[in-house]
Amino acid sequence: MKKARIVLIGFFICAFLSVPFSVSFSQTTSLKVQNFLKFIPAAKSLSEVRTAFEKANFSQSEIDQLKKAITSSPALTQKINQLVSQARALMKPKIDQNKQTALANLEAMKTKYVASQLQKAAMTQAQIQERIKNIIATACVSDSPIIESISGAPIEPGVSFEVHGKGFGKGPGSIDLMVEGFVYRAIINRWDECYVWASLTPEISGLRASNYATLVLRTGGGRETNKVASFQPLLEFTYLYDWDEFDFTSGGSNDYILNNYQLKNDWFVSSRNFNYFVDGGAGSGHAEITYASDLNVPNGSARTNVHAGCSWLAIVDWGLYTYIFGPKGLAYK
């Protein structure tokens, strides 16, 4: 089985390969089959051959003769392969368009996420400014710094948050966030006796979400206090692309198990996009998802099962895009 990831476009071809066979067609085939075999070299398209095949209404015995005759003839096999390549070339614009659509979907997801982050940042900032207006300065006096609450949780890189309490001192101090053993210094936007308005750099990556991060506040005078805080990393987005070629000589259909592994580091499957294209008439080919793991489950399975098949001389191209999200800077498997 062949697979392509992120940028490859695959195809699914039902055709017969060349196999040496020395018995003459006249000794092993009916006259009806022989006439059809003579028609193939002059055919200008795969659909033309397929249409003639369907009109001939061959018996199963004749179909078996036909298949054996073609697979035993290098010339006929070459001709069929030529027609298959021609048909594939005609399908390529659809395949390319499908790829562009998948890339556009991914970019749309990224854009929507960035917009949600900007919206959260704007709302948090507005809430902080409103809260600052209502603070009574006399209520903030304390010999030691005390953190009463953290607004804007979970704390995310690039998004403002506010530490509210008392005894912070009028001069600026510092705020650090400790996550998974790493310490990140916050950018101070405003410091007051009652509150600190700060943010983490958006460049932070390589961390999973945590409800047990520790925010450490140090006053300008060197006094220190801390409080447990929640942390949410920025997300990144990618997709997996799967395809497989199927040889009709192994049967009329096949089943595939794709991405059969557990995601890690809190990555999850967000959505899937499955498409297939058929070169042939109605009922000549099909492909469908028969099983898909649950969406939006951190560290869940990425597995998808696909069933596909086609009639003789038909072409089916199918592609599965699996969109996955996870913490920026961490591997998904």
Band of residue 313 on the pLDDT scale cut at 50, 70, 90: confident
Q: In angstroms, rounded to a whole number, what is the distance separating the alpha carbons of residues 6 and 9?
A: 9
Average pLDDT over residues 118-134: 83
**pLDDT by residue (tens digit) across 54-112?**
899 999 899 888 888 888 999 998 998 898 888 888 888 888 898 899 999 999 999 99
- Contact (Cβ atoms closer than 8 angstroms) between residue 138 and residue 176: no
Q: What is the pLDDT of residues 278-305, one digit of tens each?
A: 886 666 788 999 999 999 999 999 999 9
Provide the strand spans (E) within the chain: 146-151, 160-166, 174-179, 182-185, 187-191, 195-199, 210-218, 224-231, 235-242, 253-258, 268-279, 285-292, 304-310, 315-327
Q: What pLDDT score was predicted for residue 332?
A: 97
Q: What is the pLDDT of residue 19?
A: 33
Cα–Cα separations (whole angstroms), residue 116 to 122, 149, 238, 254: 10, 24, 18, 42
pLDDT at residue 265 in the model: 97
> Residue 326 pLDDT more than 50?
yes
Give the residue from 250, 322, 319 showing the smallest Cα distance to 91.
319
Please state which architecture CATH assigns to domain 135-232.
Answer: Sandwich (2.60)
Which of the four pLDDT bands, split at 50, 70 and 90, describes residue 136? Answer: low
- Measure the CA–CA gap between 130 and 239, rounded to whole angstroms: 41
Give the model's confidence band at 310: pLDDT under 50 very low, under 70 low, under 90 confident, else very high: confident
The reply to whether the predicted model has a pTM over 0.75 is yes
Residue 8: the pLDDT is: 32
Secondary structure letter of residue 10 according to DSSP? -
Q: Please tell me the distance from the alpha carbon of residue 168 to that of residue 192, in angstroms, as a whole number.
A: 7
Q: Is-contact 328 206, C-beta < 8 A?
A: yes
Higher per-residue pLDDT: 184 or 3: 184
Domain ranges of the chain: 135-232
Band (124; pLDDT cuts 50, 70, 90): confident
Of all residues in the chain, what percent carry a pLDDT higher than 70? Answer: 87
Please say whether the beta carbons of 14 and 248 come within 8 A. yes
pLDDT for 133: 75
Cross-strand pairs, 10:
none
Q: In whole angstroms, what is the distance from residue 333 CA to residue 260 CA?
A: 11
- pLDDT(176) > 70: yes
Whole-number average pLDDT of the chain: 86
Is pLDDT above 50 for 23?
no
What pLDDT is recorded for position 229?
A: 96
